[in-house]
Structure 1
Amino acid sequence: MTIPRIQLAGLAKRFGSRQVLAGVDLAVMPGESLVIIGGSGTGKSVTLKIILGLIAPDSGSIKVDGHEVVGLKGAALDAHRARFGMLFQGGALFDSLPVWRNVSFALEGSAASRRAAAIDNLARVGLGPEVADLKPSELSGGMQKRVALARAIAPRPPIIFFDEPTAGLDPITAAVINDLIRELATQLKITALTITHDMHSVRTVADRVAMLHGGVIIWQGPLASLDGCDNPYVRQFITGSAHGPIQMPGAR
């Protein structure tokens, strides 16, 4: 029996009077691309931060390759985080560093070897070596996102998190980024966990989909079963309907 790469059990987190996660149970298998969908404020980003050890859960278990990681500290926590790559929603590039230093930020070795590795990873996301010495401010939003993706894959982590990877991009650029994520996940045999509102992203990058609502996973299944799902919350979300059980804050 294959051990899940990531397994969450009973994961709970409260901020003040607000219960964000109320018992999340979810498994991500090795090499799988899982996408978590759900409305704003449902706890998708909080879930990623808890897995990374940036926020402590109130209760519950997180296992990575069968090993409990809740409560790790010091060197053990650093080693845990080193297993993950991250594509942040805003790219989070260092404005003062040239592109090649951004991409090779987590790599070791001489400047020459790190620059060569950066250029190799830039090529994987469709950017030429002429980009290496530019500053992020000299790039378009789509190019910045590609650089951020190159940085995420550069250390060859076994797991990569994608936080709203197409946020702020035009539809054509978003489609390019989605295709890159799918292609790289397959080529590098990584385990990918993506959170997004973008149904085009879901349909491009997901092997399996899970919906987070009310602090719990209310539905999960393979991408192929998404359109035929009869869960009213999922139906409303994937169709973008204003009418259904999901109500906007302040709505009556």
Structure 2
Amino acid sequence: MIVMEDVHKAFGPNRVLQGMNLEIATGTSMVIIGGSGTGKSVALKCILGLIQPDAGRILVDGKDARQGDRDAFLARFGMLFQGAALFDSLPVWQNVAFRLLRGSLKRPKAEAYEIAVEKLRRVGLKPDVAERLPAELSGGMQKRVGLARAIAADPEIIFFDEPTTGLDPIMAGVINELIREIVEEMGATAMTITHDMSSVRAIADNVAMLHDGEIQWTGPVAQMDASGDPYLDQFINGRSDGPIEAVR
């Protein structure tokens, strides 16, 4: 579904992506791990076209991501943002149905409301939550609302940016289980960025380790612990000694 071929991106002298190669098969869940500032979010933004790479090629479903109808391209994606990123002034149901109330995916208001309530139910929230404002919800509930919004338009591809940041371990586990269940139910292709190794093990079919702007290792999550790759081994075990220099 997604192919990145020799993708480069620099911001002035800061070379972030330096020949990134990655393939995400249709209907699978890929988790990208790596230290802060290694380019994970930049890679995601390059796929979405929010940032244009300096070199290389990105294909989505076999087609160049930079060509064709932009609205139709973005309609294929859902996104769970870090920190939920809800609109404070809109009630929960309008946050969930945001894409369904405008643009090419626009639905009648009553239909959009019903879809929002159904998606809230799918993530474990009761219908009465629909009329509340985000500020009235806990962090875990806000994250569930963000997940409901990500799946509201039944996208083919879903991106998860640090889905468990700021959550306690129990709620993080709940969110991880929801993500896994929903991705499998929808048959969607998923790409997750995370530092949380419990999320990696819960969500991933495959894992890719990004370091120094390149994929150092990629493979099934079941092979991660015995990969033999020094970069991956240091990262997943949280060791300060190894090829990845710790910033002191």
TM range (shorter): over 0.9
CA distance in 2, matches of 1:236, 1:168: 24
Deviations 1:146-181 (A, max 9, x none): 000000000001000000000111100100000000
CA contact (8 A) 1:53 1:77 kept: no
Residue of structure 2 in register with 1:44 after alignment? 40
Residue of structure 1 in register with 2:30 after alignment? 34
SS in 2 for 1:132: helix
Residue of structure 2 in register with 1:230 after alignment? 228
The offset of 1:78, in angstroms, is: 2.1
CA distance in 1, matches of 2:159, 2:7: 18
Residue of structure 2 in register with 1:88 after alignment? 81
CA contact (8 A) 2:38 2:211 kept: yes
Residue of structure 1 in register with 2:182 after alignment? 184
1:134 aligned to 125, 128, 132, which one? Answer: 132
1:16 aligns with 2:12: yes
SS in 1 for 2:53: coil
Deviations 1:125-161 (A, max 9, x none): 0001010000000000000000000000000010000
1:102 aligns with 2:95: yes
CA distance in 1, matches of 2:219, 2:134: 38
CA contact (8 A) 1:208 1:223 kept: yes
Residue of structure 2 in register with 1:79 after alignment? 72
Residue of structure 2 in register with 1:217 after alignment? 215
The offset of 1:113, in angstroms, is: 1.1
CA contact (8 A) 2:31 2:193 kept: yes
CA contact (8 A) 2:19 2:56 kept: yes
Q: Which amino acid counterpart does residue 50 of structure 1 have in structure 2?
A: C
CA distance in 2, matches of 1:56, 1:37: 22
SS in 2 for 1:79: helix
Q: Structure 1, unaligned stretches of length 5 or more?
A: none
The offset of 1:248, in angstroms, is: 2.2
CA distance in 2, matches of 1:232, 1:27: 22
The offset of 1:82, in angstroms, is: 1.4
1:239 aligns with 2:237: yes
Report how many aligned residue pairs link the two structures: 243
2:191 aligned to 190, 193, 197, which one? Answer: 193
CA contact (8 A) 1:103 1:148 kept: yes
Q: Which amino acid counterpart does residue 24 of structure 1 have in structure 2?
A: M
The offset of 1:190, in angstroms, is: 0.5
CA distance in 1, matches of 2:70, 2:129: 34
CA contact (8 A) 2:29 2:189 kept: yes
- Aligned-pair identity in percent equals 59
SS in 1 for 2:9: strand
Q: Which amino acid counterpart does residue 29 of structure 1 have in structure 2?
A: A
SS in 2 for 1:106: helix
Normalising by structure 1, we get a TM-score of: 0.95
The offset of 1:81, in angstroms, is: 1.3
Q: Structure 2, unaligned stretches of length 5 or more?
A: 101-105
CA contact (8 A) 2:48 2:65 kept: no
Normalising by structure 2, we get a TM-score of: 0.96
CA distance in 1, matches of 2:231, 2:182: 31
SS in 2 for 1:36: strand
CA contact (8 A) 2:77 2:159 kept: yes
Q: Which runs of 4+ in 1 moved over 3 A?
A: none
CA distance in 1, matches of 2:171, 2:228: 32
CA distance in 1, matches of 2:185, 2:56: 33
